[in-house]
């Protein structure tokens, strides 16, 4: 055992009594994470996503996390738990198996929100990046238990309708596999509304905060930044006019579809 951050840590890198994933007694702990050109590129992308949410003002203390997933290898890379963003290095990111949640390498504990990220990747195979923050404006709506209305075109450029808020987790869900249940209620929310992960790349978890996602870590980060912006705009809209209503459906549809889907024409073509 050794001391790290005030806690006793065993040879496998876990703090005593704080192992959030089942141990596999037949598996020798790995200290070297999976590597290769694709995973090395993903590692840099996930590290940059974690730095980008700090630069965007979405982080207080060490709250929040960004992850990325490589479907070919079945590896998720995520920020380690409680590590200050200023101290975070690409090699600190923790590799986790997508199928079983095993720690595949590294000496640090993964984010406590890892089971939530895993639930989203498993539910929506098309996504490759997930971001969770405690950003002030979005959290305010989550704490109020209110969806963010689609008041204008800035909102419609990113989100196909009001950004939804989940139902409250039950006492049993919180007492059980809390982080996994958090992922499940996010997936449940979009299913209830008949929305795909591409149409609605964000959900507010009631009394908690926002999760966003996208086809890569950078897109997930951009959606987190956009979400914070439209949350602030919506709040200020209601200050100016408490009776303000959502934008017309036809305008929302035009703005969303010009940036998303097969008929999109915003920006430059990918090469």
Distance from C-alpha of 33 to C-alpha of 107, rounded to nearest angstrom: 9
User: Residue 106 in contact with residue 94, Cβ under 8 Å?
Assistant: yes
Angle at the Cα of 56 from the Cα atoms of 88 and 159, rounded to 5 degrees: 115
User: Residue 112 in contact with residue 207, Cβ under 8 Å?
Assistant: no
Residue 241 is a catalytic residue:
no
**DSSP code, position 14:** P
Distance from C-alpha of 271 to C-alpha of 269, rounded to nearest angstrom: 6
In order, the DSSP letters of 182-225 are: HHHHHHHHHHHHT--TTT--EEEETTTEEEEEESSHHHHHHHHH
Catalytic site residue from 11, 100, 178, 266: 266
CA distances from 219 to 48, 150, 222, 236 (A): 12, 20, 5, 26
User: Residue 158 in contact with residue 138, Cβ under 8 Å?
Assistant: no
| Strand partners of residue 8 | 3
Strands (E), the chain: 2-4, 7-9, 65-70, 75-78, 94-97, 103-105, 129-132, 202-205, 209-214
**Which one, of 121, 130, 45, 129, lies nearest residue 90 by Cα?**
45
Residue 265 is a catalytic residue:
no
Catalytic site residue from 157, 178, 241, 249: 157
Which residues are catalytic, by number? Answer: 157, 266
């Amino acid at each position: 055992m050794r001391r790290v951050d005030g806690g006793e840590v065993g040879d496998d890198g876990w703090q005593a009594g704080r192992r959030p994933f089942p141990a596999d007694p037949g598996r020798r702990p790995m200290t070297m994470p999976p590597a290769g050109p694709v995973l090395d590129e993903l590692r840099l992308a996930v590290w940059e996503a974690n730095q980008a949410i700090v630069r965007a003002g979405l982080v207080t203390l060490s709250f929040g996390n960004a992850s990325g997933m490589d479907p070919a290898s079945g590896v998720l890379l995520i920020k380690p738990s409680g590590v200050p963003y200023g101290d975070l290095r690409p090699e600190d990111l923790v590799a986790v198996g997508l199928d079983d949640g095993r720690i595949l390498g590294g000496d640090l504990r993964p984010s406590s929100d890892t089971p939530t990220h895993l639930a989203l990747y498993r539910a929506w195979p098309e996504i490759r990046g997930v971001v969770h923050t405690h950003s002030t404006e979005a959290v305010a709506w989550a704490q109020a238990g209110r969806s963010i209305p689609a008041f204008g075109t800035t909102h419609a450029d990113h989100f196909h309708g009001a950004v939804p808020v989940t139902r409250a987790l039950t006492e049993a869900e919180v007492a059980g596999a809390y982080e996994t249940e958090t992922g499940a209620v996010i997936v449940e929310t979009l299913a209830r509304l008949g929305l795909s992960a591409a149409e609605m790349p964000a959900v507010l978890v009631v009394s908690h905060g926002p999760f966003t996602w996208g086809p890569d870590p950078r897109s997930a980060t951009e959606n987190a930044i956009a979400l914070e912006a439209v949350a602030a705009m919506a709040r200020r809209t209601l200050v100016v006019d408490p009776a303000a209503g959502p934008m017309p459906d036809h305008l929302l549809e035009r703005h969303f579809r010009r940036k998303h889907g097969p008929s999109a024409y915003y920006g430059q073509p990918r090469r």
